[in-house]
A and B are shown apart, each in its own frame.
Chain A
Amino acid sequence: MSAVLTINGLTMDFGGLRAVDKVHLDVRQGEIVALIGPNGAGKTTLFNCITGLYKPTGGDILAIPPGGAAKRINGLKPNQVTEIGLARTFQNIRLFPNMTVLENVMIGRHCRTNSKILGAVLRNSRTRREEEEIVAFSYHLLERVRLERHVNDFARNLPYGAQRRLEIARALATEPFLLLLDEPAAGMNPHETRELDDLITRIQEEMDISILLIEHDMKLVMNISDRIFVMEYGKEIAVGTPLEIRGNPRVIEAYLGEEAHA
């Protein structure tokens, strides 16, 4: 199957600290790929490089929209990356707290719509139609993540698990072909995690979106991933199917090492 994301020799330095060290990674069309590793391994940093929040020190990131040509995206601005079709969530939830739940999702539609100031002031029929479409599209996504009861609540008033789902809906609103989830299950209870498991699989199957996710919850990871990449100290130490990773001695050591330190 064709790849939607290819990362070659990606490196990111902060002063003297090498947070990501010559990492290779790829996500194929229709896959759910997990990225795991102990705390501080550089997983989030890798996400930040992909999504344009950090400018990588070296290496290449190629995004390949299904049916389109490959684009080198390192160095692009975050909004340009999103426009190409990569969307993300954040490890430390970053919603717009003083906007309503619906408005949070509506922001995701920004790069797929184009009414301008004049349209907004005149409220001509095109703008109104576009606005209605934005609302309908966003509401539909909220139904998907089962937040429709909260449409008009402020995002800051949502419970934690719901905030995580809202971030997913917001990212989906940008119509990505690749969704990057940074620890979507963090802080969720077992019941919520099971629901999330289901949600992620459904997003992949029903919306045909490839998924790259960072997660510490091994049960979730083993359940839903097609392939797993493992990082430690910025380096990639293993890649394979869940079965292969489960038996990989280096991975076990990396995690046991962490346990021993903690």
Chain B
Amino acid sequence: MWKFFSLDEIKKSLLMALWFIFLTFPIMVIRVNPIYNVVEWRWQNMALVGAGAFFLSFLWRYFLEYKNPAPSKPADDAAVSRSGRFSELLRSSGTRRLAIGAAVILALAFPYLFSSYQVNIMTTALIYVVLGLGLNIVVGLAGLLDLGYVAFYAVGAYSYALLNLHFGLSFWICLPIGAALAALFGILLGFPVLRLRGDYLAIVTLGFGEIIRLVLENWNDFSKGPSGIAGIPRPGIPGIEMSLNASSVFLYFLMIALALFTIMVVSRLRNSRIGRAWIALREDEIACQAMGVDKTKTKLTAFALGATWAGMGGVMFAAKTTFINPASFTFLESAIILSIVVLGGMGSIIGVIASAFILILLPEYLRAFSEYRMLIFGAVLVIMMVFRPQGLISNVRQTYRFKGLQENKEGD
């Protein structure tokens, strides 16, 4: 640690500070107003950048070193064993049951402890949990890079909004319809594109997401264009009148139920015949095919299934906000959901849930910094990837016990 304050290191940091002062000079220091032809000089920003870069560069180097310890220091196993102990803790069934129990109690009590504003934020976070777990099937398990996931979310949301607007269909009917339509779109897109290479798939899905959004934006007769659709009813129980407050609590519980359902489905799928095929496909496509797995069919199932959850999330979103327009379905949304999956740890359910809460709640509670929210979000993505690219929880697989084996082990 102390070697980070040697003269050499200080020199490095000074250089960094100078470099960043140079780098940020035109954009941070100068502000022009081309209309009135005036220039504003903000010298204080230069000092800020210099000081910031100086200190941050110490931290940066320190943590990089910590992450990849130099081979000469074998004692530095701490990072490994600590994360190991963490997943150990998660795996041991006692603590696990305790943690789950506490989470359930907290979730049930939440609406009665906090304001309806908080409940609404929580509902949003839960929608992202569902979206994250859905995309986790596609990206985390099957390894298909989908940058247009938001398209299926939009399909779900507009299914509910439009079916309700034109035919008066209720939330309960639209939830499965939205899910099915999204799955259908998933298959429609999947058929032509799933034989494309990974990165090509990325741009095509991104394009597909943009196409859906642009169509919604421009096809006024169909979708009411940029002005969107308002007055979407919240879900209710037939025959029971609910106040605004009660209905948002109801929606919250609905969302909890959907999230639990999703968790159950995804965790069961993950350790099933089909789930293993997804993971194998992600690990090595050629070997996987050679072991008898039908690539196209397996990919298509993952794609359609992922889309289904986006569709349900979309219906929920429309019901929660009661107003939707195409602006809610931009690429940024896809990027956020993808970030949830990657930050959580590809394929890890608990990781994805945790990162959904972190990424959605943190900005909400950072309202004080509201302007800086997205700036911080971008920086967090980079920093997380640099220092923990495998995500919060990496690759935990099911283990099996065998009777004969135990004895064998002791025999060794």
Contacts and interface: CB of A to CB of B under 8 A. Distances in A.
Nearest to A156: B283
B326 to A, nearest CB: 32
A261 interface: no
Interface string B375-407: 000000000000000000001011110101100
Interface string B283-302: 11011111111110000010
Contacts, number: 130
A70 interface: no
B292 A94 contact: no
A131 B268 CA distance: 12
Contacts of B218: none
B269 interface: yes
B260 to A, nearest CB: 13
B283 A134 contact: no
Interface string A127-139: 1001100110001
Contact of A139 (B291, B395, B402): B402
A112 B293 CA distance: 10
A238 interface: no
Interface string B264-295: 11001100111111011001101111111111
A79 B281 CA distance: 12
Interface in A42-92: 51-53, 77-79, 82-83, 87-88, 90
A102 B400 contact: yes
A100 B402 contact: no
B166 interface: no
A44 B265 CA distance: 41
B270 to A, nearest CB: 9
B276 A99 contact: yes
Nearest to A122: B268
B292 A88 contact: no
Contacts of A77: 289, 294-295
Contact of B274 (A52, A116, A154): A116
Given A77-B289, A78-B289, A110 B276 contact: yes
A256 B79 CA distance: 53
Contacts of A186: none
A94 B274 CA distance: 20
Nearest to A106: B276
A170 interface: yes
Contact of B287 (A96, A119, A148): A96
Interface residues of A, number: 50
Given A103-B397, A120-B275, A94 B268 contact: no
B269 A110 contact: no
Contact of B290 (A53, A106, A116, A135): A53
Contacts of A40: none
Given A106-B276, A117-B301, A149 B269 contact: no
A173 B408 CA distance: 23
A23 interface: no
B292 A121 contact: no
B269 A120 contact: yes
B85 interface: no
A95 B284 CA distance: 7
Given A96-B279, A103-B276, A103-B397, A123 B268 contact: yes
Contacts of A117: 269, 274, 301, 305
A157 interface: no
Given A149-B408, A149-B412, A151-B405, A99 B290 contact: no
A149 B276 contact: no
A134 B273 contact: yes
Given A82-B290, A94-B284, A152 B399 contact: yes
Given A127-B272, A148-B405, 5 more contacts: A53-B290, A77-B295, A87-B290, A103-B398, A112-B292
21 contacts: A53-B290, A77-B295, A79-B293, A82-B290, A82-B292, A94-B290, A95-B284, A96-B279, A96-B288, A98-B279, A98-B395, A99-B279, A103-B397, A117-B301, A120-B274, A121-B265, A123-B268, A131-B272, A149-B409, A149-B412, A151-B405
State the 9 A-B residue pairs at the shortest beta-carbon distance, nearest first.
A111-B292, A120-B272, A82-B292, A96-B283, A94-B287, A78-B289, A152-B399, A107-B280, A78-B290
